[in-house]
A and B are shown apart, each in its own frame.
Chain A
Amino acid sequence: MTGKIAAFAISLVAASVIVFLVLNVLPGDPAAVMLGLDAQPDTIAALHHKLGLDAPLPARYLHWIAGLLWLHLGTSFTYGIPVTDLLADRLQVTLPLAAITLLLAVAIGIPVGVAAAARQGSLGDAAIMAAAQLTKSVPDFWLGVIFILVFALRLHWLPAGGFPGWQGGLLPACRALLLPAFALALPQAAILARFTRSATITALNQDYIRTARAKGLSRRAVLWRHALPNALIPVVTVAGLLFPLLLSGTVIVENVFNIPGLGRLLFEAINQRDLIVVQDLVVILVASVVLVNFAADSLAARLDPRIAANE
């Protein structure tokens, strides 16, 4: 276990170094990039000094990391307010959106996959898998746009975009998040469904299933008590790998539906060349990917006694 934690920590550090280098070395002069093409040399020099860009790279890196750990993330170049405040603000939108999406993807994907596995070879199975294949081939932002067309503009069931804020009430806020969450969740559910199906079928073909049936368990009992607990182990690992997709997708749908979350912030920051915000945001998102992978691996190890034994 300590080995895993050490590896996790090293990954975090390595990732932060990469982010730092890309955003501080690649652009040549970050200050010049942020100020734009027609900036005056002395304006650039002033910004240089203000941002501490005169210091050597390692010092700047450590200063930044120390800031991250103490949540002093600097001031946004475009908005002029502390990045921490910006993030806190936007997190209130993105976290619920991501949570709803995850819930939907799992609640739809896993049962569908199990249902297909239980009916393996039948017409129902083929139909479910064809639908899943189609759904996961469609770009999530396109799905979002189509949803806007159908459910918002034509049927007027749900808002076409924007976010009224949580102060306006729980229901309007959730209604605004529903379409984006679905647009994001459906392709992920499709991937989960296919994977769950194949993991369940593999489990159902194992010898211990035959042993269980010989005890007198019904087909249904065998599926739930023996096949699924085994099938869920690889599914948990794959869910960990789906997180980067969830992240990218959240950024995209926030822009499709004009929702003021972290994704929209990233988009705005890139367009405005606000390297400070970009750097902080990217490193936080990268760190979350590393964290989720770590969590998924650890969870898989808990569920499967064989993995723990091999540690």
Chain B
Amino acid sequence: MEGFLVVLAFLALFMLGFPVVLAIGIPCVIYIFANGLPIDLVAQRTLYALDSFPLVAVPVFLFVGSVMNSAGISRYIYQFADTAVGRMPGGLAQVNIFGSLIFAGMSGSALADIGGLGRIEIDAMRKKGFSGPFAAAVTSSSAIVGPIFPPSIPLIIYGTVTGVSVIQLLLGGIVPGLLCVAMLMLMTWWLAHRRKYPRAARWPTRSELWHDFKPAFPAIVAPVLLIAGMLLGWFTPTEIASVTVLYAILISSLFYRELTWQGVLDAAYETIRASSGILLIVAVAALFGWILSVESVPQKLTGIMLSISTNPYVLLIMVNVLLIIVGMFLDSTTAILVIAPIIAKPLVAAGVDPVHLGMVVVFNLMIGLLTPPMGLALFLVADIAKVTMKDVLKEMLPYYLPLGITLLLITYVPEITTWIPRIALAP
């Protein structure tokens, strides 16, 4: 019972506008004192939560995204995407989505995509006659590919809290990421036909394509190198994060020659702000998770869920509904830390593959970045595009359909997620 009270207290404080770290931490500390538990527990649980090697990848991958934006790599990605798919119906809207896929191959963060590449895309779309809210809607919906396609910060956090292999999770994100991009492009195609959106006058010639491919090549080839390095056992996922930073800095300073010391400093400060904010929540959430397990909340929930049905497909429907509601109110990191340890047990007990479940959880919560009231991607994109949240939401409506279909496909066709990890890591 006390476990559920801690959860309710967290929700109440969160709704009142307490910072997440306090909304989680205050009920936990009250629980510790009320039960006469030693205060050492607070310090030990909080500190040991961060004593994890996979988590080292979180700030380092955030740094990659910031360096890419500071170094102008995002601009070259955009230029190539414009040449490659600008002629497709939907023009720059398709460029926006395709550009996000390339960006996703080096950065694992949706907000880094919106803050860097998104800024360029929204300006360009406006100049070509697209409305600000539509440009913002395409930018934010395509940005969620970043945390699905490897590398991915939310998948690393999910793997850390549930003990699922981070390598398998990252490999599992390849097909869902591509599928999501295809669905978004199809919707854009349909909207472009209805609304008569502008597009490039002609398809590029081979030399034009080659001209813009060359500067984008180092960014395009990065995910191939990273995945190969991981599969060949050269690096762990955490080491890949460091290799990607080195790679981004090297190509920025030697190839693009646009990275300045001030750019590196700005990227570093941005990374420190974002990563310490996220990881402090990870630390305090460990205390929360410990209390839930002491109070047998996951076991009780397992009992309740399995008493309703033991069919994994029915359980996955329940999880999807729960996560969509949770995603509306919690930011993705908090939701993974709070929800994943609770739901993983009953679902895995019912026969759901842990890697598949990880993808369902993370994709669902990425849609949560685009749903009010706590849609961080919406806040950021509305701020950058200087439009109201209401207008962005109106333009977002058609895009919830491809995202929903992708979610359903990921949920009910596990092979979409498990196929690559299975063949890549087969003995």
- Please say whether chains A and B are actual partners in one complex: no
